[in-house]
A = this chain, B = another copy of it.
Amino acid sequence: MAGTPLRVGFIGLGLMGLPMSLNVLRAGFPLTVWNRTASKARAALDSGAQAGRSPADVASRSDVVITMVSDSPDVEEVVLGREGVLEGARPGCTLVDMSTIAPKVTRSLAQRLAERGVELLDAPVSGGTLGAQNGTLSIMVGGKPQVLERCRPVLQAMGQRITYCGPNGMGQVAKLANQIIAAGTLAAVCEGLVFAATAGADLNAVHQAVSGGAASSWQLEHLGRRILNGDFAPGFMVKLMAKDLRLVAEAAEELGVSQLVTPAVRQLFRTAEQLGYGEEGTQAAVKVLESLAKKEARAG
């Protein structure tokens, strides 16, 4: 195999997966793809990827299989289900799961795969669709260090910052910590802006005043600006943040971690989803707070 590029499989060609798979192709790796909705694979096939008939078929033709799907049950289905990765993967193959799922599901998958001689890396990402397109994702990796080294050239095609976080599950733990921080920061930005707006402040002045110091953040700079512009297009969708914060709540419960703030943050994003903003960008959480402020003011 020395000198031959790794044959890569890619399963899950959604908003994130498709541009990631195109970056793998561009880096010169032979690629086989599969997607539940076959039509979404078109752009990858047009760019030179081969069509797999099933996850098992993709796995049988690949040294490294990447999965990029929505949630724990989706990963379990494409890996353990009928015609799943496990049916097709030969010993020595590596599964790189880049989805954000429960750390305990990752650990259980790793065990099932190990019984068949298949290695697992959990390698969830942050950076959104823009990072996926530009190949600048931050990739948080759990698994064996030597397996990461073998797969690193493939990961480098998709991401800029690749951090080894520990054994299987620790990539997911780092990703959930990332979501706790990102969602909480955004919630604070939304609540600060709604407070200032309700008090009658000029939001552009407030945004400028608070951007220079201890309140500054990626969320304030990028999504705070979008809020001022009334731009709710998704960089990352409300419904996916609500799902990630559900994974956080479940993991915190299992770990016995009491959280004071994150449950309120989760409630904010759940409410945003329930109010119909699920497919908007996470900054749409501000609409929940605005509607509360208005209702209170009307009642007061």
Residues of chain A whose beta carbon lies under 8 Å from any beta carbon of chain B = 103, 126-128, 131, 138, 140, 160-161, 163-166, 169-170, 173-174, 176-185, 187-189, 191-196, 198-202, 205-206, 208-210, 212-220, 222, 236, 248, 251-252, 255-265, 267-268, 288-289, 292-293, 295-297, 299-300
Residues on B with C-beta less than 8 A from A214 are 126-128, 178, 182, 218-219, 222, 236
User: Given A201-B177, A205-B166, does the pair A255, B195 have CB atoms closer than 8 Å?
Assistant: yes
18 pairs from A and B in contact (CB 8 Å cutoff): A126-B215, A131-B213, A138-B209, A161-B208, A161-B212, A174-B210, A181-B191, A181-B192, A185-B185, A185-B189, A188-B265, A194-B257, A217-B217, A255-B293, A256-B296, A260-B268, A261-B264, A263-B264
A256 CA to B300 CA, complexed, in Å: 7
Which of B213, B217, B265 lies in contact with A261, CB distance below 8 A?
B265
Q: Closest chain B residue to A289 by CB distance?
A: B260
Say yes or no: A176 contacts B188, CB within 8 Å. Answer: no
Say yes or no: A185 contacts B255, CB within 8 Å. Answer: no
Say yes or no: A261 contacts B258, CB within 8 Å. Answer: no
User: Given A264-B260, A289-B259, does the pair A181, B199 have CB atoms closer than 8 Å?
Assistant: no
A22 CA to B289 CA, complexed, in Å: 42
Residues on B with C-beta less than 8 A from A191 are 180-181, 184, 259-262
Residues on B with C-beta less than 8 A from A262 are 188, 191, 195
A188 CA to B118 CA, complexed, in Å: 37
User: Given A196-B173, A209-B140, A215-B181, does the pair A268, B258 have CB atoms closer than 8 Å?
Assistant: no
Q: Closest chain B residue to A128 by CB distance?
A: B214
The distance from the CB of A153 to the nearest CB of chain B, in whole angstroms, is 20
User: Given A177-B193, A185-B188, A214-B218, does the pair A268, B257 have CB atoms closer than 8 Å?
Assistant: no
Q: Closest chain B residue to A165 by CB distance?
A: B205
Residues on B with C-beta less than 8 A from A161 are 208-209, 212
User: Given A255-B198, A289-B259, A296-B257, does the pair A138, B174 have CB atoms closer than 8 Å?
Assistant: no
